[in-house]
Amino acid sequence: MRANKMDKNLLRMNDKGSVKRLVSDNSKGVSTGCLSKVFVDCFNKRILFLALLGVFSILILQNISGLGITPGRTSINFEPGLNREVAFSVVNTEQKEMSVVFMIRGELADYITLNQVYEEFSSGDETKPFSYTINLPNKFEKPGRYEGEIVALEMPKGIKEQGAYVGATVAVVSQVYVYVPYPNKYIEAELNVVEAEGKVNFIIPVISRGKLDIVDLRASIDIYSGSGEKVASLETGKGAVNSLERTELFAEWIPSVAPGKYKAVVSVIYDNEIAEIEKEFTLGEMFLEILEVYVKDFRLGEIAKFNALVENKWSSDLKEVYLNILVYNNEGETMADFKSPDYDVGALSKSEMVAYWDTAGVHQGTYDGKLMLKYEERSTDRNIQLKITPDNIEIIGVTGRVLITGKGGTLNMNNVLLIIVGVLVIANIIWFVLIKRILKKKR
Amino acid sequence: MLIVEAVIVLAILVYLFFSMAPTGFSIAGQNIFENDYTLEIEKGDQVIISTNMDFENSIILEQGESIDLPPGTYYWKAKNWLRESKVQSFTIQSNVGLDLFVRGSDYELENSGNVDLNVTGKKSGITTALEEGESIDVKEDNYEGKQNG
């Protein structure tokens, strides 16, 4: 099931020509006499270890239960007698056959009607749209937030006929918030921290939940390190927000501190009142980042040597770091689980790690997998896909971010024209200077 | 001769001005909830992303760069040394996603959506925070997840 999901992602990304490759054929390899010796030592132990692991993996069955719902939350400003149809979608994250049962609960349950309470999904259904109708009363007694929940519960396919099910399952909730305005000035704010190009952007969406407009709105942000020391203070620009409307405050920070965990304490000041919010954020991408993974000189059926280049972005040394790679078969079962030895990675430095996988009995094809970099009870994980051919293993990773990609090469028609213009201009200047000189000489 | 050349150069420059307009593809105007998404540009060097149409407080990204964005509506345009593309938008919808892996007698719960969750074990009633992309080992086999915060 995982394979289906990954294949779909990959196809979609390939259409856009934007698959991020983790494989680098011209990457540095490690091959010293010393390491070769270590390799032989490890090799015999590893064969035994891998054989045991292989048997162990076969014995362990991996089932999966997965479900998604979007949007996770719908916010509505209260209007007397409001009648509205609200759309939502259920995501079949594992692309499998299943049933989904819907329920309503919460203080708004009496005002919500589901347009459908049961649906069956086939393995080809990635998402399915649904809706509910919200029918609000003419009045709520108190101002504030009223909550309702639409619960989607995953069940085996055909549960309607079977009647009951006992086993592993998950449920996901789409929340409905109805806001009844406060009679005075009242704001709701949150903090989004977005890091890009060496800058940290603090985006503070502010929603006025009161009946009165707010004419003077700003925020101050204090940033504290993990040890509680204040490292920076920032001010956003000033703004205003009308009753029941939304605006954003913004501040930019160019940090000159080491990567790590920080806390932002935000005071949103609105017409001489203050609302405080706090949020922890990590500066720097990760403590330890996997830069690339590649396999060189591979033959199917032999031992594959996985080289991983990792970077310690943390400002102190990390000890006992190791790489753990899982490979899943098409049923999502773990067919291989192998690890590198422990490494020490210096502060803010790069290190190459090696792990070996015995591919005896492995068939060529595309397999899903997981790459885990383990250190100090933490783990940097990446979902990967291994394309195994008789003489190559290509490793493709999923990044989980917005990736900017370009189309077309650098030498396109426009560049050629630009070069032509440049050449013509230079040729003309030379030609002009030469003619001038010749004319001068003649005179 | 010079006049002919000047006409050619002028024609090329005019052509370049109109043809060098950067273009943005991919998720223009779409609602997206997947964890991975790509902004694809043509003839552009940079992408400018903002939460408002007038691109106040925008974030500039070079080709090949990536960024984590919270759910919301974003406006974006591609830019090169000469021109900017038309403004497009996309909306990242919050997606509450929960995956449960069963390995023998152990379970692993993973937040597969794009928002932080509160997950509650149906038997114990214990609620745990599960950040976006985080996975934890759990004891129960029935969980419910909802957006926190």
**B51 has a pLDDT exceeding 80:** yes
Residue A402 to residue A317: CA distance in whole angstroms? 30
Average pLDDT over residues A324-339: 88
Residue of A nearest to B132 (CA): A400
Assess if residue A71 is contained within a domain: no
**What is the residue-averaged pLDDT of chain A?**
79
Look up residue A195 and give its two tokens.
């890091």
Q: Do B33 and A91 touch (CB under 8 A)?
A: yes
Residue A309 to residue A294: CA distance in whole angstroms? 9
Assess if residue A68 is contained within a domain: no
User: B131 or A241: which carries more pLDDT confidence?
Assistant: A241
Residue of B nearest to A406 (CA): B41
Give the closest residue to B93 by CA, choosing from B114, B118, B117: B114
From B87's Cα to the closest Cα of chain A, the distance in A is 16
Average pLDDT over residues B12-40: 67
**B27 has a pLDDT exceeding 60:** no
Residue A382 to residue A369: CA distance in whole angstroms? 9
**A43 has a pLDDT exceeding 50:** no
Residue A39 to residue A35: CA distance in whole angstroms? 6
**B86 has a pLDDT exceeding 90:** no
Residue B99 to residue A88: CA distance in whole angstroms? 19
Q: What's the pLDDT at A19?
A: 26
Residues A206 and A308 in one domain: no
Q: Do B16 and A417 touch (CB under 8 A)?
A: yes
Residues A52 and A123 in one domain: no
Residue of B nearest to A65 (CA): B100
Q: What's the pLDDT at B29?
A: 53
Give the closest residue to A310 by CA, choosing from A384, A387, A379, A366: A379
Residue B51 near chain A (CB below 8 Å) = yes
Average pLDDT over residues A52-66: 56
**Is the alpha carbon torsion for A158, A160, A165, A169 positive or negative?**
positive
From A299's Cα to the closest Cα of chain B, the distance in A is 31
Q: Is-contact A190 B59, C-beta < 8 A?
A: no
Average pLDDT over residues A248-263: 87
Residue of B nearest to A400 (CA): B36
Give the closest residue to A117 by CA, choosing from A131, A102, A128: A102
Residues A174 and A192 in one domain: no
pLDDT tier, A354 (very low <50, low <70, confident <90, very high otherwise): very high
Assess if residue A403 is contained within a domain: no
**A291 has a pLDDT exceeding 50:** yes
**A110 has a pLDDT exceeding 90:** yes
**A22 has a pLDDT exceeding 70:** no
From B39's Cα to the closest Cα of chain A, the distance in A is 5
Residue A315 to residue A288: CA distance in whole angstroms? 11
Q: Residue A83 is which amino acid? A: N
Question: At A204, which CATH number?
Answer: 2.60.40.10
Average pLDDT over residues A155-162: 78
User: A90 or A372: which carries more pLDDT confidence?
Assistant: A90
Residues A83 and A154 in one domain: yes
Assess if residue A57 is contained within a domain: yes
Q: Do B102 and A62 touch (CB under 8 A)?
A: yes
Residues A206 and A113 in one domain: no
pLDDT tier, A223 (very low <50, low <70, confident <90, very high otherwise): very high
Residues whose CB is less than 8 angstroms from the CB of residue A259 and which lie 6 or more positions away in sequence, other chains included: A282, A283, A284, A285, A287, A313, A314, A315
Residues A258 and A156 in one domain: no
Q: Do A68 and B98 touch (CB under 8 A)?
A: yes
Phi-psi region of B124 (alpha: psi -120 to 50; beta: other; left: phi over 0): alpha
Q: Do A421 and B103 touch (CB under 8 A)?
A: no
Look up residue A32 and give its two tokens.
């010293």
Range with lowest mean pLDDT among A281-290, A342-351, A367-376: A281-290
- Domain termination residue (choose one: A150, A180, A210): A180
Range with lowest mean pLDDT among A17-21, A251-255, A305-309, A433-437: A17-21
**A52 has a pLDDT exceeding 50:** yes
**A286 has a pLDDT exceeding 90:** no
Residues in chain B closer than 8 A to A404 (CB atoms): 38-39, 41, 47, 61-66
Residues A237 and A167 in one domain: no
- Domain termination residue (choose one: A149, A180, A211): A180
Residues in chain B closer than 8 A to A428 (CB atoms): 2, 5
Q: What's the pLDDT at A397?
A: 66
Residues A387 and A426 in one domain: no
Q: Do B147 and A72 touch (CB under 8 A)?
A: yes
Q: Do A406 and B42 touch (CB under 8 A)?
A: yes
Between the ranges A173-187, A308-322, A397-411, where is the mean pLDDT highest?
Answer: A173-187
State yes or no: ipTM above 0.90: no
Residue B60 to residue B79: CA distance in whole angstroms? 10
pLDDT tier, A443 (very low <50, low <70, confident <90, very high otherwise): confident
Backbone phi and psi for residue B43, each to the nearest 5 degrees, phi listed first: 60, 25
Q: What's the pLDDT at A391?
A: 86
Question: Total structural domains in chain A?
Answer: 4
Assess if residue A312 is contained within a domain: yes
Q: Is-contact A290 A283, C-beta < 8 A?
A: no
Backbone phi and psi for residue B124, each to the nearest 5 degrees, phi listed first: -85, -25
Range with lowest mean pLDDT among A114-128, A345-359, A395-409, B32-46: A395-409
**A81 has a pLDDT exceeding 90:** yes
Q: What's the pLDDT at A442?
A: 81
Look up residue A424 and give its two tokens.
């013509």
Residues in chain B closer than 8 A to A173 (CB atoms): 96, 144-147
Residue A338 to residue A348: CA distance in whole angstroms? 26
Q: Where are the alpha helices (DSSP H) in A178-278?
A: none
Assess if residue A405 is contained within a domain: no
What are A168-216's pLDDT values in tens digits? Answer: 889 999 999 999 999 999 999 999 888 877 789 899 999 999 999 999 9
CA distances to A10, A21, A76, A368, A407 from A17, in Å: 10, 11, 39, 20, 8
Q: Residue A118 is which amino acid? A: Y
Range with lowest mean pLDDT among A105-114, A229-238, A397-406: A397-406
Q: What's the pLDDT at A425?
A: 83
Q: What's the pLDDT at A315?
A: 64
Residues A241 and A294 in one domain: no
Q: Do B43 and A173 touch (CB under 8 A)?
A: no
Q: What's the pLDDT at A331?
A: 82
Which candidate in B30, B45, B67 is best for mutational testing of the A interface (most A CBs within 10 A)? B67
pLDDT tier, B134 (very low <50, low <70, confident <90, very high otherwise): confident
Which stretch of DSSP H or E encloses residue A128? strand A127-135
How much of chain A exceeds pLDDT 90, in percent? 40
User: Which domain, by its residues, includes A204?
Assistant: 187-270
Q: What's the pLDDT at A63?
A: 54
